[in-house]
């Protein structure tokens, strides 16, 4: 067996013996074969995390001496992670299952898990370690001591790669044949003492075994039929399953920057409190301090402070060179870490050229992490279908709008269920007004549909948005119809009371005279003028309408116009 010590990283951060992890939990025992296979990888992880966490010196200086730490490693890593993942991702599925699967993804990522926190943790782990392992598990429903019921959920768990020991197929490095998860944790024993335990979980396609301190505590068949682990390297290396981190190239530069900055600080401190040189006199008889006058010195005595004759401009220039090299190695622009920049309306293309190195890194991560997210989604859906079979069926309360030809239930054997694309939001800022104008021009030219425009603007559920817009238009039409009905009723009441009718400009005008009777009014046989026939009421004609839809529309308009309104309850405030 090989025992690897977890000594304080501040004492061994730059030493070759810093292996496995930065942890206070003592020793982790690995088989010789495991250490031979995974030792270099674990040592690389530990070194990277030591630098990310700010442990940059292997030996502490004496008290009073400076050890300046400029943690550019963390600054560059955090900026890269934020640039690539902060805008989030969306998932577009096959048209056959667009009414069911998107709502399941939304539940898994946003209800069962914190989507943005999970994405940022995945990005941070890959940026620092160079490799990403994610476990998909299911948590059964449970009730807490307060009686609150917590429903079952699919868990997406980013793992510490220092605890992961995968075994790949000898001829396919993308296929796991065995996976071991091993780590140590504190717990309380039956007698109340605190103790460190070693937990080990071994997974294959057929079985899952759990050990505590090398003692088997559970063994069960693997219900999923595959290892529920998704893996991807941060940056692929040809011929190797392991990846490269974002910070590996700048650790040496950051170490040199810290050491030279500390040297410059020592020089400045040295000359801020200089050494006094006295020739031809005894220092004991001279009192040091402000506002002190030395007199009675021998004629040949000399007293002066030791001054530095060098120029620090060269040293400062070397620090700038080191910092510029770190920017070039990581692709992070020099203006990205807080330097004051003039406000300008830079065009999107010009901004993309300015951030071209970061855009190249983003495009590369889209490939590696896109494959990881697809694997996670597949495992999550299969786990959900296995543990909650009712999610296979269409639910109009939670799912989308079902279209003609779409099934009422999902067939988990259909590959289209798991077929989807990862939509990455552009990392650079986009002018919303310009985007809307672009969409408007495309739609006017017939190059884009409303549904496509809604999705292009960042809405993952365009059908629901179109339905929402339609329902709002229907509601507006009902309000307009109710208002027109009320206006007609008011006009009729005013005419009956005053004999005046409202004019086109809103003024009141006299009721127009009745039309003359037809025929020759001067002849003796002409009929006497009778009473004016009443104008037909357009609403009376609605009684003859038998169509159910029109009757319902009229009923809703009348209810909107004359229906009762329930009083609204409001909580009293200090002002009412």
Please compute the mean of the pLDDT values over residues 547-569 and round it to a whole number.
Answer: 61
Among candidate residues 60, 76, 92, the one where a domain is terminated: 60
The three-state secondary structure class of 220 is strand
The predicted-structure confidence for 419-437, as pLDDT tens digits, reads as follows: 999 999 888 777 677 778 8
Please compute the mean of the pLDDT values over residues 228-255 and round it to a whole number.
Answer: 93
CB-count burial class (<10 Å; 0-12, 13-18, 19+) for 37? middle
Please compute the mean of the pLDDT values over residues 559-573 and round it to a whole number.
Answer: 57
Whether 1 is covered by a domain: the verdict is yes
Positive or negative CA dihedral for 438, 440, 445, 450?
Answer: positive
What 8-state DSSP symbol labels residue 346? -
Average the pLDDT over each of 106-110, 138-142, 179-183, 354-358 and give the range with the smallest value: 354-358
Higher pLDDT: 318 or 505? It is 318
Whether 371 is covered by a domain: the verdict is no
Range of the domain at 50: 1-60
pLDDT of residue 514: 64
Please compute the mean of the pLDDT values over residues 373-396 and round it to a whole number.
Answer: 94
Distance CA 18, CA 251 (A): 15
pLDDT of residue 267: 80
Among candidate residues 60, 95, 110, the one where a domain is terminated: 60
Structure tokens at 111: 């209800």
The predicted-structure confidence for 436-490, as pLDDT tens digits, reads as follows: 888 888 888 888 888 778 777 777 677 777 778 888 888 888 888 888 887 787 7
CA nearest neighbour of 49 among 86, 15, 74: 74
Please compute the mean of the pLDDT values over residues 141-158 and round it to a whole number.
Answer: 93
pLDDT of residue 347: 62
Q: Are 89 and 422 in contact (CB under 8 A)?
A: yes
Whether 339 is covered by a domain: the verdict is no
pLDDT of residue 22: 41
Number of structural domains, the chain?
A: 2
**Reported confidence tier of residue 557, pLDDT bands at 50, 70, 90:** low
Look-up: residue for tokens 């399953």? 241
Whether 474 is covered by a domain: the verdict is yes
Distance CA 30, CA 183 (A): 11
CA nearest neighbour of 186 among 294, 24, 34, 20: 24
Whether 225 is covered by a domain: the verdict is no
Q: What percent of the chain has pLDDT over 90?
A: 36
Q: Are 94 and 419 in contact (CB under 8 A)?
A: yes
Whether 448 is covered by a domain: the verdict is yes
Look-up: residue for tokens 């090989």? 2
Whether 113 is covered by a domain: the verdict is no
pTM (global) more than 0.75? no
Question: CA 109, 111, 115, 117: dihedral to nearest 10 degrees?
Answer: -140
235-265 burial string, b = 16+ CB within 10 Å, else e?
beeeeeebbbbbbbebbebbbebbebbbebe
Q: What percent of the chain has pLDDT over 70?
A: 75
**Reported confidence tier of residue 282, pLDDT bands at 50, 70, 90:** confident
Whether 29 is covered by a domain: the verdict is yes
The predicted-structure confidence for 320-334, as pLDDT tens digits, reads as follows: 999 999 999 998 888
């Amino acid at each position: 067996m090989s025992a690897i010590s977890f000594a304080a990283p501040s004492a061994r951060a730059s030493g070759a013996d810093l292996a496995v992890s930065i942890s206070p939990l003592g020793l982790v025992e690995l088989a010789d074969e495991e250490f031979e296979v995974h030792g270099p990888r674990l040592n690389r992880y530990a070194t990277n995390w030591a630098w990310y966490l700010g442990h940059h010196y292997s030996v502490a200086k004496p008290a009073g001496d400076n050890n300046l730490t400029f943690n550019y490693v963390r600054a560059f890593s955090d900026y890269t992670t934020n640039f690539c993942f902060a805008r989030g991702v969306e998932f577009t599925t096959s048209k056959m299952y667009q009414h069911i699967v998107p709502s399941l993804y939304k539940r898994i990522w946003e209800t069962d898990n914190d989507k943005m926190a999970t994405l940022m943790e995945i990005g941070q782990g890959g940026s620092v370690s160079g490799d990403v392992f994610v476990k998909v598990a299911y948590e059964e429903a449970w009730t807490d001591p307060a009686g609150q019921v917590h429903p079952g959920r699919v868990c997406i768990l980013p793992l510490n790669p220092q605890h992961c020991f995968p075994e790949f197929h000898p001829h396919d490095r993308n296929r796991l044949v065995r996976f071991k998860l091993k780590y140590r944790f504190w717990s309380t024993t039956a007698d109340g003492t605190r103790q460190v335990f070693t937990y080990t979980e071994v997974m294959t396609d057929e079985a899952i075994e759990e050990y505590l301190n090398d003692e088997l505590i559970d063994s069960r068949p693997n219900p999923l039929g595959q290892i529920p682990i998704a893996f991807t390297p941060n940056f692929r290396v040809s011929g190797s399953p392991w990846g490269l981190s974002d910070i590996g190239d700048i650790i040496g530069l950051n170490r040199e920057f810290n050491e030279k900055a500390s040297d410059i600080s020592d020089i400045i401190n040295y000359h801020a409190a200089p050494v006094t040189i006295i020739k031809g006199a005894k220092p004991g008889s001279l009192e040091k301090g402000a506002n002190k006058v030395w007199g009675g010195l021998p004629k040949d005595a000399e007293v002066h402070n030791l001054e530095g004759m060098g120029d620090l401009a060269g040293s400062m220039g070397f620090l700038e060179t080191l910092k510029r090299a770190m920017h070039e190695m990581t692709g992070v622009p020099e203006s990205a870490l807080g330097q004051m920049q003039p406000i300008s309306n830079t065009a999107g293309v010009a901004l993309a050229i300015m951030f071209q190195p970061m855009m190249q890194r983003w495009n590369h991560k889209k490939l590696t992490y896109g494959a990881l997210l697809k694997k996670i989604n597949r495992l999550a859906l299969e786990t959900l279908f296995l543990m909650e079979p009712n999610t296979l069926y269409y639910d109009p309360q939670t799912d989308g709008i079902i279209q003609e030809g779409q099934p009422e239930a999902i067939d988990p054997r259909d590959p289209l269920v798991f077929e989807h694309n990862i939509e990455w939001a552009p990392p650079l800022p986009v002018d919303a007004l310009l985007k809307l104008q672009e969409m408007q021009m495309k739609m006017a030219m017939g190059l884009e549909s409303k549904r496509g425009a809604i999705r292009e603007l960042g809405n993952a559920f365009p059908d629901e948005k179109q339905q929402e817009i339609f329902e709002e238009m229907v509601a507006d039409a009902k309000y307009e119809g109710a208002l027109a009905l009320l206006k007609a009723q008011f006009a009729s009441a005013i005419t009956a009371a005053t004999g005046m009718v409202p004019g086109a400009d809103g003024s009141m005008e006299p009721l127009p005279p009745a039309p003359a009777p037809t025929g020759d009014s001067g002849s003796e046989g002409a009929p006497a003028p009778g009473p004016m026939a009443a104008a037909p009421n357009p609403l009376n004609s609605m009684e003859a309408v038998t169509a159910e839809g029109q009757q319902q529309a009229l009923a809703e308009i009348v209810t909107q116009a004359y229906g009762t309104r329930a009083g609204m309850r409001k909580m009293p405030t200090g002002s009412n």
